[in-house]
Structure 1
Amino acid sequence: MSFGGQTPTIIVLKEGTDQSQGRGQIVSNINACLAVQATIRSTLGPYGGDLLLVDENGRQTITNDGATVMKLLDIVHPAARILTDIARSQDAEVGDGTTSVVVLAGEILKEIKEFVEQGVSSQVIIKGLRRASAMAVNKIKEIAVNTSEGNQRETLRKLAATAMSSKLIHRNSDFFTKMVVDAVLSLDQDDLNEKLIGIKKITGGALQDSLFVNGVAFKKTFSYAGFEQQPKSFKDPKIVCLNVELELKSEKDNAEVRVEQVSEYQAIVDAEWQIIFNKMEALYNTGAKVVLSKLPIGDLATQYFADRDVFCAGRVASDDLERVCQATGASIQSTCSDIQPQHLGTCARFEERQIGGERFNFFEGCPAAKTCTLVLRGGAEQFIAEVERSLHDAIMIVKRAIKNQSIVAGGGACEMEVSAYLHSYADKNVSTKIQSIIKAFAKALEVIPRQLCDNAGFDATDILNRLRVEHRKGNIWAGVDFMNEGIADNMKAFVWEPSLVKVNAIQAAVEAACLILSVDETIKNEESAQPQAPQRGLPPGAAQRALRGRGRGMPRR
């Protein structure tokens, strides 16, 4: 078929589709990631600032936790969202180093940006970065110090203190490191499920008023009349945990019962009452002194138990009830008729206590305690929320340190040693284009100590030069000394971090950089998000009305 010598125009994509590709697209993606990095880098380290984030509802969050910041930032650029993913993966895998991983990924992209602009193939850059990453990880594993010998508790406290050094609670780190280490060591050491550490927040009081409960504590649940007459303290009580409703309810789903005589109606009412009385009597006969249920316990049951010196609480949150079962050895029952003695739990002491403006139920001295509760106090709500985030990071670090007993020095020491090693290796052993990629990666690692110095107000150029000299001499743990504005042996100064934090950060940052480099085309279809008009030939504006519902004056169909 002839088209008069002209090549026909073939339209593949819908009209309105935005298509950008090539080297310019990669540079644009890198610039977007650098903008995100610039936002978060000021929060790194012991002297990093906090960010005040306000969402669309006016809710404020004050934090310097990288994962929280990345989650709350409303990033619209598709490539820059990859940084959010790596921060989330670092938080899930290790729990700390979330800011470091974003700063490092941004710096790697910044260093290799000029190679992209000069026309170096992105595949060559990716190959160089992967090689440098593998060498860096091997070097960290080689220099890491094993902590399996010595005082484990003391080592864990040092690691928790380093994790807290950049947080709001670093002034109270002695108080909280003991709490964190006790909390993790109270868990089952085989699976170390951190979800079994309950964290309860109560405004008011000082940070030092926070409590560690070797057992379970939860806020007093909604209660009916008769609750105040129940005993609030027991020694060695038996505990029953239920998933049963102990309440008289009206018939559901508009059920209809037809009766011809009043006595028949009375028989129905009596039967309902008899059912609930049988349940309560069966529970009382088990000898349990504490009755807990996920479902409501109504006023009739509350008064029944109060008359018999039994404590009850309904509508207990499922995670709290699960932790009570873990601690006391009870098992959740779905019926009241066949409860055996082995289904009941026990604890040394049950008590209801007032803490601040709240009343809490405490289960302490539990025989099977594989769980604990941290009750946090503080002035403002945002402050306590940040304390909780800080403790989460420290708990995760201690958990990882128990499973992977190798540490490195923090304060930029590990990054400077790996950087010096990569520079030396590239000069001696690599002669291809990849040499400059490895050296660029080595330079990018220096962003951690440099940013630590910048955030602390130190002379970054001077300190980095001194660190390079020390590492060339073989002082592998030389890092930034925040106390004396200089450099120090951070291994001796007890600035410790699990090697897993560094390994995971480097691997995640390089993966993100390689992913962003491999994207050289973005196709954005603006119209796909807009629903099409349901009918043709509608007057202007009618299509919008049709989408919302049948507009006024439109014919029924």
Structure 2
Amino acid sequence: MAKSMGYNLASGLSGMLKEGHTSYEGVDEAIMRNIDAARQLADIVKSSLGPNGMKKLVVNHQGKIIVTSDGATIVHELDVLHPAAKMIVLASQMQEQEVGDGTSLVVALAGGLLRLAGDLLRQGLHTAEILEGYARAYEKCAAELPSLACHTVEDPRDKAQLIAGIRTALGAKQYGFEDTLAPFVAEACLTVMPAKPKKATIAVDNVRIAKLQGGSIDQCDVIKGMVILRDSEGSIKRVEDAKVTVFGCGIEASSTEAKGTVLIRTAEELMNYNKSEEKLMEEIIKSIADSGAQVVVANGSISEMALHYLEKYGLMVLKITSKWELRRLCAALRATALVRLGPATPDEMGRATLVEVREVGGRNITVVARDDEDARLATVVLRASTEPLLSDLGRAVDDGVQCARALCLDPRFVPGAGATEAQLAARVRAFADTQTGLDQYAIRKFAEALEVVPRVLCETSGLDATAVLARLAAAHAADPACPLGVDVEAGGAGTGGGEGGDSGGGSGTRDAAAAGIYDLLVCKESALRLAVDATLTVLRVDQIIMAKQAGGPKPK
């Protein structure tokens, strides 16, 4: 009998699987473990939600220090291993790919749904009843959400409307600087938009970000073209309407594979030793100049001899050490990176409207611009005092660009500041009151989970969450079109609601629509769908089986 057939029926699962495996099953061991892991991940991320969200200091496996409140960056750098928590991480990553914003909302909502599902399980509800209630509550939310739209961007090419659309997305990451950054991001997006009558679309890769340490956020700028954060190599600093040859290698004499020894007997032999090499290099540079090229880009080192002949023939020289940046430049200029030294064919050569060296903040940078309908580029030059702040500014700008791209596809917005979640919670509660089965308890818990957004906004802003949520629940239950949200500028319960505050007179709430606080409708729809999908997937797991890890040295 084959060895695989020697299954000991008396030993159960341990006799069927390889030695060293672990298995958990049942509500307490499997489902509650998964819920606890998801809850802990949500507790980490949800405090970063909103304009006053707390930042996390993460030191990744390479020792790099990251200080950010961006949910996508946090879950990516945490290197989560628990399989249930990993499902929520994957949902947040999908949200980042589809919309580019709302990753913290996905994690916080999924964690809230799973935590409340754990409460229902302890009270005696069956998993099937929770799944049914959550699924019906989600269907209700998905049906009601489009009716909450309160603002539409009529013309994405209008800079004022575009700024109003992306302002809230920027404020959620860089609160206090949204009015400074929004015009720069809007100008960059308008630069890369195709002209009428083509549909307004934004290619996110065409909006680049250049980070210059030093200065302040007020000194940020937008440059039409691609920015290379270094000076040109030679004395030529400006070329207009240039043909560009790109080399994926260095510009220097190639060395032989075999080592050799040269015996020089006379001074004349010493003088003539390098002449053949110099002559060959001159011929190569002359052939490049004769092909019509005016700018040469190298991906490796440039020898002094090559630089001498490049100057002699009037070629501007750029050195790019990053392969990634070289590929982006080739895509922008429609050029092909050559792996051999020599002249490029007309098809391999790229074209640029302007290649110029400029000084920004005491540092020389090179701007490569191409005025082409299909290859427009814009670069947002960010200035800040520290590297972590620069990185966080870059993430905020990226979210703003993604928001602009999404509003070109669907220009509808819903009230922000937790107003949409509060209204959905009120409608789901009213829906639960019409149900008679046990799943009505799960539907009510779904409504409670939706309130995680206004609750976190209150907690991070120093407001009394219980009092503010009670006012919001009462207002939204009475008015199905209520745009009331959390006033993060109130500074504490009982203080003034600020401009646009509600008629209650300083209750920590405000009219989000009147204050211009909008969230993308597609962002809310996608976040809700992904959070519910991840939650239902985790709740359907009733057993965890882990094989023994592969051999090898233990990680340090």
Does residue 544 of structure 2 align to residue 522 of structure 1? yes
- Greater Cα shift, 130-139 or 187-196: 187-196
**Matched-pair contact (CA < 8 Å) for 1:53–1:62:** yes
Residue 399 (structure 2) aligns with? 393
- Which of the residues 136, 139, 150 maps onto 1:134? 139
Distance 2:182 2:544 in 1: 47
Other-structure match for 1:110: 115
1:298 is displaced (CA, Å) by: 2.8
In structure 2, the gaps of 5 or more residues are 1-7, 490-496, 498-506
Amino acid at match of 2:480: G
**In structure 1, C-alpha distance between the alignment counterparts of 2:386 and 2:66, rounded to whole Å:** 11
CA distance in 2, matches of 1:57, 1:338: 40
Correspondence 1:23 to 2:45:
no
Q: Deviations over 1:93-149 (max 9, x none)?
A: 211111111111111112221222244332332232122212212211233246252
* Other structure's SS at 1:126 match: helix
Contact 2:192 2:203 in 1 (8 A): yes
User: What pairs up with 1:70-89 in 2 under 5 angstroms?
Assistant: 70-89=75-94
Aligned-pair distance for 1:365?
6.5
Counterpart of 1:399, as a letter, is: R
Deviation, structure 1 residue 400? 0.8
Residues in 2 aligned to 1:338 and 1:96: alpha-carbon distance in whole angstroms: 42
Separation in structure 1 between the aligned mates of residue 252 and residue 352 of structure 2, nearest angstrom: 25
Give the aligned partner of residue 56 of structure 2.
51
- The superposition leaves residues 14-37 of structure 1 with CA deviations (integer Å, 9 ceiling, x where unpaired) of 344322101112112112211222
Q: Could you tell me whether the CA contact under 8 Å between 1:23 and 1:117 is conserved in 2?
A: no
1:409 and 2:415 matched:
yes
Alignment of 1:324-343 (within 5 A): 324-325=329-330, 327-328=332-333, 332=337, 336-337=342-343, 339-340=345-346, 343=349
Alignment of 1:356-395 (within 5 A): 356=361, 358-364=363-369, 366-368=371-373, 369-395=375-401
Match of 1:156 among 162, 181, 185: 162
Instruction: Say yes or no: does 1:456 pair with 2:461.
Output: yes
The corresponding residue for 2:502 is none
- 2:223 corresponds to which of 194, 213, 231: 213
Q: Does structure 1 residue 185 correspond to structure 2 residue 190? A: yes
Aligned partners of 1:242 and 1:13: how far apart in 2? 56
1:338 Cα deviation (Å)?
Answer: 5.4
Q: CA deviation at 1:494?
A: 0.8
Name the structure 2 match of 1:3. none
Q: 1:273 to 1:194 in 2, by over 3 A?
A: same
Tell whether 2:525 aligns with 1:503.
Answer: yes
Give the letter for the 2:244 counterpart.
I
Aligned to 2:4: none
Cα separation, 2, equivalents of 1:27 and 1:492: 43
Tell me what 2:213 maps to.
Answer: 203
Find the residue that maps to 1:288 and give its secondary structure. Answer: coil
Q: TM-score, normalised by structure 1?
A: 0.84
The 1-side partners of 2:310 and 2:549 are apart by 61
Per-residue deviation, 1:437: 1.5
Aligned match of 1:427? 433
How many angstroms does 1:203 deviate by? 1.3
C-alpha contact 2:150 2:415 (8 A) present in aligned 1 = no
Give per-residue Cα distances to partners, 1:264-311, cap 9 Å, x unaligned: xx9998776555433311221234332223344432221111123321
AA aligned to 1:470 is A
Task: Determine the structure 2 residue equivalent to 1:12.
Answer: 16
CA offset digits 1:458-499 (Å, max 9, x no partner): 122222222122222233322112332522221121101110
Q: Contact conserved, 1:408 with 1:496, CA < 8 A, in 2?
A: yes
Give the deviation of 1:431 after TM superposition.
Answer: 1.8
**Quick one: structure 1 residues 487 and 187, their matched pair in 2 at CA, closer, same or farther if it must change by over 3 Å?**
same
Q: Secondary structure at the match of 2:212?
A: strand
Q: Which residue of 1 aligns with 2:319?
A: 314
Give the 3 Å change call, closer, same or farther, for CA 340–267 of structure 1 in structure 2.
farther
The answer as to whether partners of 1:216 and 1:362 remain within 8 angstroms in 2 is yes
Kindly provide the CA deviation profile for residues 323-347 of structure 1, in whole angstroms up to 9, marking residues without a partner as x. Answer: 4455556555567445339944131
Q: 1:296 to 1:339 in 2, by over 3 A?
A: farther
SS of the residue 2:192 aligns to: coil
* CA distance in structure 2 between the aligned counterparts of 1:328 and 1:530, rounded to whole angstroms: 49
Residue 539 of structure 1 corresponds to which residue in structure 2?
Answer: none
CA distance in structure 2 between the aligned counterparts of 1:510 and 1:340, rounded to whole angstroms: 54
Report the 3-state secondary structure (helix = DSSP H, G, I; strand = E; otherwise coil) of the residue aligned with 1:171: coil
The share of aligned pairs that are identical, in percent, is 27
Question: What letter matches 2:18 in structure 1?
Answer: K
Question: Partners in 1 of 2:530 and 2:430 — Cα distance?
Answer: 24
Aligned amino acid, residue 307 of structure 1: K
- The whole-number CA distance in structure 1 between the counterparts of 2:455 and 2:9 is 57
Give the counterpart letter for 1:75 in structure 2: V
Runs of 4+ in 1 over 6 A off after TM superposition: 255-259, 266-271
| Contact 2:291 2:344 (C-alpha < 8 Å) held by counterparts | no
Compared CA separation, residues 60 and 334, structure 1 to 2 (3 A): closer
**Contact 1:346–1:367 (8 Å) recurs in 2:** no
Change (3 A) 1:22 1:490: same
Change (3 A) 1:478 1:304: same
**1:487-537 alpha-carbon deviations (Å, 9 max, x no partner):** 222112110111011111111111111111111111234x43335xxxxxx
* Correspondence for 1:445 among 430, 446, 450: 450
Structure 1 equivalent of residue 516 of structure 2? 494
Residues 244 and 12 (structure 1), Cα distance of their counterparts in 2 relative to 1, 3 Å cut = closer
Instruction: Give the secondary-structure state (helix, strand or coil) at the position aligned to 1:361.
Output: strand
The one-letter code matched in structure 2 to 1:494 is: G
Q: Give the letter aligned to residue 508 of structure 2.
A: G
- Measured in 2, the distance between the counterparts of 1:171 and 1:123 equals 46
Q: Deviations over 1:387-429 (max 9, x none)?
A: 111111111111111111111111111111111111112222x
Q: How many residues align?
A: 518
Are the aligned partners of 2:26 and 2:542 in contact in 1 as well (CA < 8 Å)? yes
Which amino acid is 1:20 matched to?
Y
* Partners of 2:35 and 2:176 in 1: CA distance: 38
Q: Quick one: structure 1 residues 342 and 115, their matched pair in 2 at CA, closer, same or farther if it must change by over 3 Å?
A: closer
Which entry has the higher C-alpha Rg, 1 or 2?
A: 1
- 1:178 is paired with a residue whose SS is helix
Q: After the TM superposition, which of the residue ranges 28-37 and 496-505 deviates more from structure 2?
A: 28-37
Deviation, 1:314, is 3.5
Return the match for 2:290 from 281, 285, 289: 285
Q: Distance in 2 between matches of 1:215 and 1:399?
A: 19
